Chains A and B, each alone.
Chain A
Amino acid sequence: MATQLKQPGPAPRLRVENYLSGDFAKAENQHLWTKVWLVAGREEELRNVGDFLTFNVATESIVVARGKEGLVAYHNVCPHRGRRLADGCGRASQFRCKYHGWTFNLEGKNVLVQDRDDWQGALDDERIDLWPVRVDSWGGFVWINMDMEGESLTEYLETIPEFLDPFELEKMRFRWKAELHLPVNWKVALEAFMEGYHVAATHPQLLPVAGNDYTQSFAQGKHAHFGYWKDMQPIGTASPRLADGGFRDARAGVIEFFRQIEEDLNAIQTDRDFEAAKKIMDVLPEDVDPMTAMGTAIELGRQAAVADGTDYPAQLTFEALAKAGSDWHIFPNCVTLPYFDGAIWYRARPDSRDPENPDKCVFEIWSLKRYGPGKEPEVQTRVITDPFKEGLCLILDQDIANMAEVQAGMKSSKFRYARPNPVQEVEVINFHRTLEQYVLGQAQA
Chain B
Amino acid sequence: MPKLIFVEHDGTTVETEAPVGETVMRAARAAGVAGIVGECGGGMSCLTCHCYVARAAIDRIAPAGPVERELLGCVVTAQENSRLACQIVVTAALDGARFDLPAWQG
Instruction: Please list the residues of chain A having a beta carbon within 8 angstroms of any beta carbon in chain B.
Output: 49-50, 68, 90-94, 96, 101, 103, 105-106, 111-112, 114
Asked whether A96 and B45 contact (CB < 8 A) given A101-B40, A111-B71, A112-B67, the answer is yes
Contacts of B77 in A (CB 8 A): 93
Number of A-B contacts (CB under 8 A): 47
> Which single member of B40, B45, B106 contacts A93 (CB below 8 Å)?
B106
> Which single member of B74, B76, B78, B104 contacts A111 (CB below 8 Å)?
B74
A92 and B77 alpha carbons, distance in the complex (Å): 10
8 nearest interchain CB pairs? A105-B74, A92-B106, A101-B45, A50-B76, A93-B75, A93-B76, A49-B76, A94-B74
Does B5 have its Cβ within 8 Å of any Cβ on chain A? Answer: no
A94 touches B47 (CB 8 A): yes
Contacts of A112 in B (CB 8 A): 45, 67, 70-71
B46 touches A93 (CB 8 A): no
B74 touches A114 (CB 8 A): no
Instruction: Please list the residues of chain B having a beta carbon within 8 angstroms of any beta carbon in chain A.
Output: 40, 43, 45-47, 67, 70-71, 73-78, 104, 106
A111 touches B70 (CB 8 A): yes
Contacts of B78 in A (CB 8 A): 93
A114 touches B76 (CB 8 A): no
Asked whether A101 and B74 contact (CB < 8 A) given A50-B106, A91-B104, the answer is no
Asked whether A103 and B104 contact (CB < 8 A) given A49-B76, A68-B76, the answer is no
Q: What are 8 inter-chain pairs, A to B, with CB distance below 8 A? A: A91-B104, A91-B106, A93-B78, A96-B45, A101-B40, A105-B73, A111-B70, A112-B67
A62 and B47 alpha carbons, distance in the complex (Å): 22
Contacts of B71 in A (CB 8 A): 94, 103, 111-112
Contacts of A111 in B (CB 8 A): 70-71, 73-74
A105 and B73 alpha carbons, distance in the complex (Å): 9
Contacts of A105 in B (CB 8 A): 73-74
Contacts of B74 in A (CB 8 A): 93-94, 103, 105-106, 111
Give chain B nearest CB distance to A105 CB in angstroms: 4
A94 and B39 alpha carbons, distance in the complex (Å): 14
A93 touches B43 (CB 8 A): no
Contacts of A114 in B (CB 8 A): 43, 45
Give chain B nearest CB distance to A20 CB in angstroms: 44
A103 touches B45 (CB 8 A): yes
A96 and B104 alpha carbons, distance in the complex (Å): 16
Give chain A nearest CB distance to B64 CB in angstroms: 14
Apart from A96-B40, A103-B45, A114-B43, what are 6 other A-B pairs with CB-CB below 8 Å? A94-B47, A96-B47, A101-B45, A106-B74, A106-B76, A114-B45
Give chain A nearest CB distance to B89 CB in angstroms: 21
Give chain A nearest CB distance to B78 CB in angstroms: 8
Contacts of A96 in B (CB 8 A): 40, 45-47
Contacts of A90 in B (CB 8 A): 106
A95 and B106 alpha carbons, distance in the complex (Å): 9
* Residue from the set B47, B75, B76 with the largest chain A CB neighbour count within 10 Å: B76
A57 and B64 alpha carbons, distance in the complex (Å): 42
Which residue on B lies nearest to A67, using beta carbons?
B76
Which residue on B lies nearest to A66, using beta carbons?
B76
A77 and B77 alpha carbons, distance in the complex (Å): 25
* Residue from the set B40, B45, B70, B78 with the largest chain A CB neighbour count within 10 Å: B45
* Residue from the set A91, A93, A94, A96 with the largest chain B CB neighbour count within 10 Å: A93
Which residue on A lies nearest to B67, using beta carbons?
A112
A99 and B40 alpha carbons, distance in the complex (Å): 11
Contacts of B70 in A (CB 8 A): 111-112
Contacts of B45 in A (CB 8 A): 96, 101, 103, 112, 114
Contacts of B104 in A (CB 8 A): 50, 91
B43 touches A101 (CB 8 A): yes
* Residue from the set B47, B73, B78 with the largest chain A CB neighbour count within 10 Å: B47
A373 and B75 alpha carbons, distance in the complex (Å): 30
Which residue on A lies nearest to B77, using beta carbons?
A93
Give chain B nearest CB distance to A83 CB in angstroms: 14
A111 and B67 alpha carbons, distance in the complex (Å): 9
A106 and B47 alpha carbons, distance in the complex (Å): 13
A90 and B39 alpha carbons, distance in the complex (Å): 15
Give chain B nearest CB distance to A115 CB in angstroms: 11
Contacts of A50 in B (CB 8 A): 76, 104, 106
A68 and B73 alpha carbons, distance in the complex (Å): 12
Contacts of A92 in B (CB 8 A): 106
Contacts of B76 in A (CB 8 A): 49-50, 68, 93, 106
A49 and B70 alpha carbons, distance in the complex (Å): 19
Contacts of B40 in A (CB 8 A): 96, 101
A96 and B71 alpha carbons, distance in the complex (Å): 11
Which residue on B lies nearest to A92, using beta carbons?
B106
Which residue on A lies nearest to B75, using beta carbons?
A93
Give chain B nearest CB distance to A68 CB in angstroms: 7
